[in-house]
Amino acid sequence: MACFTQSLTGADKRLNRQYKLSLIVWALVSMYPCAARAQQQQPPAPQQGRTSVTGIVLDAATNQPLSFINVAFTGSRYGTSTNIEGKYSLAATGAYTRVTFSFVGYQTVIKTIRPGEANQFTIRLSSSQTQLKEVSVVSGRSQKYRNKGNPAVELIQQVIDHKNENRMANADYIQYDQYDRIGLSLFNISKKFINGGFFRKYQFMLDSSTTLNGVRQTTLPVYFNEKVYQHYYRKDPEKTIQILQAEKGINIVKFVDTTGVDTYLNRLYGNTIDIYKNNIFVMVNEFLSPIADHAPNYYKFFITDTVTTANGKLAEISFTPRAKGDLLFEGKLLVSLDGKYAVEGCELNVNKQININFMRSLRIRLEFKPFPGGRYYLSQSNVRADFGILKNKGIAMYGERTVTYSNYVLNAPRPADFYEGKELQFVAKTAQPDTAIWNRQPADSGMARQNEVYARINRLQNMPSFKRLTWIASTLTTDYAAIGPIQAGPVGSLYAYNTQEGSRFQLGGRTTPEFNNTVYLDGYTAYGLRDNQVKYNLTTFLSLNKNSPYRFPNDYFKIGYKYDVDLPGQSFAINTSQAGLRSFQTGSTDYWLYNKIFTLGYVKDFESHFSYNVTYRYWNQQPAGTLRFRLNDVTSTPVHDLTTSELSLGMRFAPHEQLIQGSRDRRTIKSVYPIINLQITQGLKGVFDGAYNYTNVTVDVYKRFYLSQLGTMDVTVLGSVIAGKIPFPLLNISPANQAIAYSRNSYNKMYYLEFVSDHYAGINFTQSFNGFFLNKVPLIKHLKWREYLSGKVLYGGLRAENDPARNGDLYQFPTGSKDSNGTYGLGSTPYVEAGVGIGNIFKVLRFDLIKRFNYLDHPGISAYGLKLSIRPDL
């Protein structure tokens, strides 16, 4: 028997009691020898009809419903678990005579049932945890928590030391079945709204059977999705393949023209929650696992109980963060005491001091089942979280994701060519209802409620009033108004203002697959009251895979012609982010170009998220505003316009990319994987009046680093080189930002057209600490502000052949004046700017103070600037 002695002191009585209890429990559990556990199974009963059992499971002491209680026909492979309300429903073909109710920490109950008939029980489970009497040790002073000599920490260290042998990925080959269910519902809906004239006709959609945090709630289901996968894993070389066998779901907010919502929600609620990893990704952040390699440095641990189950003796370890505001969990672990120190179950919660916006609560429960050889494999994970604008009142969103894992098979490799297939595969007719597949999935009242919701949705979608409401909501959210097979828009571009055009009015539209799923048209026409110019754009897409051009994957030819105004080096016409803030500029913005652009290209996306495009572009630039094109000769000969012909090849690779696809573009859900872009452009002199030969090669690599409690760091490394003699409009124009809105990809203290180069290399980074420091400052920590650091360094220059000061036959650089800031070549000194920001102000505002460190002698330059961002974020 291991023996631990220590004098106990401490000002905090509760901490003192937990610490002493850890010592006592450890001393008692250490008396038990390690022993392997064997499961006893009875042969299945002969199949003589269908046996079913339903009911509810309650805590015998509190009479509260118990969720996640295991319910199984004794000796069979058929089982389920109770839902959030403690209800269960289990049915299978066979003459089963007993049903078992079990869960870690509760006494197992076995009930005799009538085979081949319907049975119903209300079950009350009593706690099986042995409450240990506290032994008081009196000393002259109290002792604070510490790791040294703490038996709970020593036990956790054993769990950490045995992680590799206990995790599933330790096997050479694994396959299992996966049932994945996720749902979202609105609750705390005001009675006034529910009973009002607008919503009265939709009251049949309400569900009054849901219990949240022990309180009966009326909810409005808005999204449900169910999927069934077969999962295959190979350790070396590592490869994971998922085969989607069936899928069904509903979405009453489908007017939001966005695909990939289920991908984002699954990531939000934890794609795969692996307690054995150092970090667990959930709710857009990484949380340090309580059994991470260095977990004892960040968590406090206490042995709080021993638990005896049919599988053997377990130790219950409670844990809590050392610093309440950090991205850490609090909860309990159940650890086997058979010498393998495997996690048999866990509950992970977060306290309300954690810096996640709008989240009211988060709870994660993981259940593990023993497998031959002594390992415990994950059998079910459940994540519940609710969100609201206000902390404790008002309408809120409740989400729950349950994933069940079954039918594990170890070290049974498939043929080698099987592992050469795609990581995500689909069987034929995945979306078709397959009664056999769905009947094999875990049956509970949650699934029954979903079946009821499916029927309600069918009724809702046929209501004319809902169709009208959907059209209005779709117009507001997608920026396009559907008129039969045509969409008018973008609605947000109907009116704009700038110094060149004055008031700008624009009308546009595009066709949809209902018009033609092979040929797509997209265009607009615009008019400026100040310049009295008509602008227009028309693009035709020929889709080879019958997919619209703004949906992944692309496989299309395109041809288009555009005449419009823009800023040199900028592309505001396609950048609508924070458009309101971008209307406000600092300094002069009077450099303009009228562009005539003809494009002919081909775009191809692959399932691996490698893509390429080949494009020919005819580009005519005519200066406007105070911008002038003048030759670098004695008379400064004016140049009316500049014409180039270009052939370009663009390549992009984003391994393991997941996308949210909207009505106009698609957004990458950020992950640990890099995104690489390469663009090669060749100027063609003499082709359709092309004036110059040149080659431009540009590359950039983006990567997000997750730093656990220290937040995230976004890093972009970029570079370019141009070969050939060309005037400044064709050089690399460094992207500047004079708007008051902060831009991650631009230089926020650089003026438009300020720097040009024919070669450069740079690095941009933004570090988001997610409140790691501010959450520890008294008073300020209650504001939940977040800290940011940013930096941008750009090094480059101009060769003599492209510098007007050293070579004739080029265009003169614009010179600085009261109306403009002038243009300069990057010199031997790199351009450097850095910023510090405070965000999450009122949960939506962020202010960045930017400092520019050099080239301060340019006209109109100030060293400091303040940028504003409006962006709600979790």
Which span out of 88-97, 465-474, 577-586, 644-653 was modeled with the highest average pLDDT?
A: 644-653
Task: State the Cα–Cα distance between residues 737 and 750, nearest whole angstrom.
Answer: 6
Task: State the Cα–Cα distance between residues 127 and 137, nearest whole angstrom.
Answer: 28
Would you say residue 464 has pLDDT above 60?
yes
Task: State the Cα–Cα distance between residues 132 and 304, nearest whole angstrom.
Answer: 9
Q: Write out the two tokens for 658.
A: 């997941």
Task: State the Cα–Cα distance between residues 562 and 525, nearest whole angstrom.
Answer: 10
In DSSP notation, 693-716 reads -EEEEEEEEEEEEE-GGG-EEEEE
Please tell me whether residue 438 adopts helix, strand or coil conformation: helix
Residue 511's pLDDT band (cuts 50, 70, 90) = very high
pLDDT digits (tens, 9 = 90+) for 517-536: 999 999 999 999 999 999 99
Instruction: Look at residue 143 in the predicted model and tell me its pLDDT.
Output: 63
Would you say residue 253 has pLDDT above 90?
no
Task: State the Cα–Cα distance between residues 622 and 817, nearest whole angstrom.
Answer: 21
Task: State the Cα–Cα distance between residues 179 and 247, nearest whole angstrom.
Answer: 10
Q: Of residues 488 and 371, which shows the higher confidence score? A: 488
Q: Write out the two tokens for 285.
A: 């952040």
Place of tokens 């005896």: 308
Task: State the Cα–Cα distance between residues 537 and 199, nearest whole angstrom.
Answer: 42
Task: State the Cα–Cα distance between residues 128 and 230, nearest whole angstrom.
Answer: 36
Residue 111 neighbours by CB distance under 10 Å: 15
Residue 718 neighbours by CB distance under 10 Å: 17
Instruction: Look at residue 586 in the predicted model and tell me its pLDDT.
Output: 66
What is the percent of the chain where pLDDT is above 70?
82
Instruction: Look at residue 784 in the predicted model and tell me its pLDDT.
Output: 79
pLDDT digits (tens, 9 = 90+) for 146-156: 888 888 899 99
How are beta strands 173-187 and 299-309 bridged, if at all? unpaired
| 8 A C-beta contact, residue 230 and residue 194 | no
Residue 177 neighbours by CB distance under 10 Å: 17
Average pLDDT over the chain reads 81
Q: Write out the two tokens for 820.
A: 């403009």
Residue 435 neighbours by CB distance under 10 Å: 7
Tell me which amino acid residue 349 is: N
Residue 717's closest CA among 698, 700, 696? Answer: 700
Residue 685's closest CA among 722, 725, 649? Answer: 725
pTM greater than the 0.75 cutoff: no
Tell me which amino acid residue 142 is: S
Among 504-513, 677-686, 740-749, name the one with the lowest average pLDDT: 740-749
Average pLDDT of the segment spanning 328-332:
88
| 8 A C-beta contact, residue 537 and residue 559 | no
| 8 A C-beta contact, residue 668 and residue 675 | yes
- Which helix (H) or strand (E) covers residue 870, if one does? strand 864-870
pLDDT digits (tens, 9 = 90+) for 67-101: 778 788 887 768 777 876 788 888 888 888 999 98
Task: State the Cα–Cα distance between residues 533 and 498, nearest whole angstrom.
Answer: 14
Q: Of residues 208 and 288, which shows the higher confidence score? A: 288
Residue 592 neighbours by CB distance under 10 Å: 22
| 8 A C-beta contact, residue 156 and residue 298 | no
Instruction: Look at residue 776 in the predicted model and tell me its pLDDT.
Output: 78
Instruction: Look at residue 821 in the predicted model and tell me its pLDDT.
Output: 79
Task: State the Cα–Cα distance between residues 711 and 742, nearest whole angstrom.
Answer: 20
Q: Of residues 414 and 261, which shows the higher confidence score? A: 414
Q: Write out the two tokens for 370.
A: 């023993």
- Rounded to the nearest 10 degrees, what angle do helices 464-478 and 445-461 cross at? 90
| 8 A C-beta contact, residue 760 and residue 825 | no
Q: Write out the two tokens for 673.
A: 């994987």
Would you say residue 580 has pLDDT above 60?
no
φ and ψ at 180, to 5 degrees?
A: -125, 125
pLDDT digits (tens, 9 = 90+) for 714-756: 999 999 999 999 999 999 999 988 888 888 889 999 988 899 9
Would you say residue 140 has pLDDT above 90?
no
Task: State the Cα–Cα distance between residues 548 and 554, nearest whole angstrom.
Answer: 8
φ and ψ at 276, to 5 degrees?
A: -85, -10
Residue 128's pLDDT band (cuts 50, 70, 90) = low
Q: In 517-556, which positions are buried (b, 16+ CB within 10 angstroms) versus exposed (e)? A: eeebebbbebbbeebebebebebbbebeeebbbbbeebbb
Which sign does the torsion angle of CA 751, 752, 753, 755 carry? positive
Instruction: Look at residue 571 in the predicted model and tell me its pLDDT.
Output: 53
Residue 505 neighbours by CB distance under 10 Å: 14
Q: Write out the two tokens for 592.
A: 């303009």
pLDDT digits (tens, 9 = 90+) for 624-633: 988 899 998 8
Task: State the Cα–Cα distance between residues 311 and 37, nearest whole angstrom.
Answer: 6
Among 143-152, 238-247, 262-271, name the one with the lowest average pLDDT: 262-271
Task: State the Cα–Cα distance between residues 57 and 123, nearest whole angstrom.
Answer: 5
Q: Write out the two tokens for 609.
A: 């998220």
What number of CA atoms fall less than 13 Å from residue 463's CA on the CB side?
15
How are beta strands 343-349 and 106-112 bridged, if at all? unpaired
pLDDT digits (tens, 9 = 90+) for 297-321: 989 999 888 777 666 788 889 999 8
Would you say residue 584 has pLDDT above 70?
no
Among 51-60, 224-233, 580-589, 607-616, name the one with the lowest average pLDDT: 580-589
Place of tokens 């015998």: 60
pLDDT digits (tens, 9 = 90+) for 596-651: 999 999 999 998 899 999 999 999 999 998 889 999 888 889 999 999 999 999 99
| 8 A C-beta contact, residue 211 and residue 264 | no
Q: How far apart are the first and last CA of the chain?
A: 49
Residue 398's closest CA among 192, 546, 212, 567? Answer: 212
Which span out of 282-291, 394-403, 663-672, 847-856 was modeled with the highest average pLDDT?
A: 847-856
Burial label, 393 (beta-carbon count in 10 A; 0-12, 13-18, 19+): exposed
Average pLDDT of the segment spanning 418-443:
71
Would you say residue 442 has pLDDT above 70?
no
In DSSP notation, 153-177 reads HHHHHHHHHTHHHHSGGGSSEEEEE
Residue 721's closest CA among 802, 796, 646? Answer: 796
Task: State the Cα–Cα distance between residues 371 and 411, nearest whole angstrom.
Answer: 13
Residue 219's pLDDT band (cuts 50, 70, 90) = confident
Burial label, 691 (beta-carbon count in 10 A; 0-12, 13-18, 19+): middle
Place of tokens 């009453």: 252
Q: Write out the two tokens for 312.
A: 């053997």
Residues 6+ positions from 782 with CB-CB distance below 8 Å: none
